[in-house]
Amino acid sequence: MENIIGLKDLRQKMAEYSEKVKKGKSFIVVKRSKPLFKISPIQENEIWESVIDFTKIKKGGIDVNDLLSRL
């Protein structure tokens, strides 16, 4: 069963919730009683694909504002 938590509570206790997620718990985050998003642990067998590595373009990455201004 997934727990329902408020966005404000998540912001105030981020470290606590991140540890719970790390241990396998999932949460649905709500704001004003409306669901916003779900937080759940990464499955160990999930495959992640690198889409783009901005550190290869510029050491330390690229500033998000610079990137967005060029789109």
Domains recognised in the chain with CATH numbers: 1-41 (3.40.1620)
- The rounded mean pLDDT for the chain is 87
pLDDT digits (tens, 9 = 90+) for 16-39: 999 999 999 999 999 999 999 999
Judged against a pLDDT cut of 90, whether residue 59 lies above it is answered with no
pLDDT band of residue 2 (cuts 50, 70, 90) is low
Burial 15-44 (b: 16+ CB within 10 A, else e): eebeebeeeeeebebbeeeeeeeebeeeee
Judged against a pLDDT cut of 70, whether residue 15 lies above it is answered with yes
Q: Which tops the pLDDT comparison, 64 or 8? A: 8
